[in-house]
Structure 1
Amino acid sequence: MSERGGRDYNEDACGHWHSERYLCCVLADGAGGHGGGDVASKLAVSHVLQGYAARPAHHPQLLEALLLDTNRELLAQRAANPQLRNMHSTVVVLSIDLQERHALWGHCGDSRFYAFRDGKMQQRTRDHSLVQSLMDAGLLDEAGARNHPKRSELYSALGTQGSDLQISVSQTPWPLAGREALMLCTDGLWEWVPDGEIATALATAPDPQAWLNDLGERVRLAAVDAPRHDNYTALALWLGAD
């Protein structure tokens, strides 16, 4: 699911690649003037998928290296085109070894990965953002974060130079041992749909597309008084127990 929301154009992008053994899902949310956000998100998705297809990055160091290389590509494109000098993008990547049945993920910015097992949330990435740091310090709860005036202020995104870049990668494989529902999404979705509502929608959904359709409807209802609300994009994957 990828919708424009209340914006003039969609700066989100997503995609996936798989072989017989490996699956890679990636999602990005771009920003930057003169169409730079649209370019940045598409560049991030295509570079991750091309790099993963050439060498499946199903190892923490390989996944981190792939994201660092994607950042270098974004910086190179910025340097080559003055109109794109302000472009940057969040990114979240999910890697699955279908043979060994375990998952790894990595991200930069505030696009998220969620993992539910038997309907209960087991994993969720932590944003590289101001409000996440306030929540970690106990100064803000989830409801307060959604209304914070600086909720969109990121500490890191692709297109960042040097030591200011923050990339987080899961360090141990997560076994896919039960009934898993996995989702990657941009902040245009989770900003309007709390984690509890994501789980509620999952509980009544017969399939992953129905889950996303429900979440999209929840975004539209919650944002009815915000006609300029952000693009929202999500990619969902369900795995059975057998």
Structure 2
Amino acid sequence: MYYCCGVTDKGVMPHNEDAMLINGSVMDSGSSEQMLKEPFLAAVSDGVSGERSGELASKMCLELLRDKGFTGGGDLEEKLLSVHHGLADYSESDPETHNMQATICGIAVDGEKRIFTFNVGDSRLYRYRGGRIKQISRDQSLVQLLIDEGAITTEERRTHVHRNIIFPVLGNVKSEPTIDIAELEGGMEYGDLLLLCTDGLSDYVSVLDMEEILEMPKNLKTRLHLLMDKALGNGSKDNITVIAVAYGE
């Protein structure tokens, strides 16, 4: 069994362009707690800033993925490309939603307890194990490319002038996205947490702060709210969504 808890909030913004998917539930406000049996999906999505109807894009992105159904990892790329084309087709049919786009980052657990990770954009997946947190996903962004090339440091990411430039994501009418899919190396052990979040959290909460909060002797929902409070206290001006998946609780 898996225990899954998620929270999504507009933060200081007037509306929420984030959404979250936990099994069959797609939400763009509030929180959810569920005990899950495999197979299941969990994912976060962020409407791309500067594009039209970001709040519709993120929610529709996750609804389309949910409605495709999930039984195994073999056709995940095909399903995500179908979501991409569904968003692009919808946006081209209505001038009000033209070129609406969304990131996605999630996990898919199949009937054999294999865990597949998927990512498009700069939302993130972390694994918390033994008091330490490790980023599993790789940001599809210009600043990540600059970090990989050694042009800037990780510490310079948050304040870099091009920090909001990401590569083509789901729904982009001009370019196909690159979909990163992999089986999670090392899987999950008893006591592990997988943490999915949008950049409203990851850009404002350090790895050390994440570790400090996640090791607190509090229930998981409380710890997620503390992570959100930390992001807001550190000046987050974005929507915030975070999901935690625990194995064996």
Separation (CA, whole Å) in 2 of partners of 1:174 and 1:80: 44
Separation (CA, whole Å) in 1 of partners of 2:224 and 2:184: 28
Residues 29 and 104 (structure 1), Cα distance of their counterparts in 2 relative to 1, 3 Å cut: same
| Aligned: 1:208 with 2:220 | yes
1:32–1:87 CA contact under 8 A, matched in 2: no
Residue identity (%): 27
Match of 1:230 in 2: 238
Separation (CA, whole Å) in 1 of partners of 2:200 and 2:76: 25
The CA RMSD over aligned residues, in Å, is 2.2
Match of 2:57 in 1: 40
Residues 74 and 96 (structure 1), Cα distance of their counterparts in 2 relative to 1, 3 Å cut: same
| Aligned: 1:183 with 2:195 | yes
Range moving further from structure 2, 80-89 or 170-179: 170-179
Query: How many residue pairs align between the two structures?
Result: 232
| Aligned: 1:124 with 2:132 | no
Letter of the 1:49 counterpart: R
2:165 counterpart (153, 166, 187): 153
1:199 counterpart (194, 202, 211): 211
Match of 1:76 in 2: 89
Match of 2:19 in 1: 13
Separation (CA, whole Å) in 2 of partners of 1:107 and 1:91: 6
2:46–2:54 CA contact under 8 A, matched in 1: yes
Residues 189 and 234 (structure 1), Cα distance of their counterparts in 2 relative to 1, 3 Å cut: same
SS at match of 2:138: coil
TM-score, scaled relative to structure 1: 0.87
**How far is 1:119 from its partner?**
2.2
1:26–1:48 CA contact under 8 A, matched in 2: no
Separation (CA, whole Å) in 1 of partners of 2:98 and 2:241: 25
Runs of 4+ with deviation above 6 angstroms: none
Task: Give the 5 Å matches for 1:91-110.
Answer: 91-97=104-110, 100-110=112-122
**How far is 1:188 from its partner?**
0.5
SS at match of 1:44: helix
2:51–2:99 CA contact under 8 A, matched in 1: no
Separation (CA, whole Å) in 2 of partners of 1:26 and 1:34: 21
TM-score, scaled relative to structure 2: 0.85
Letter of the 2:60 counterpart: L
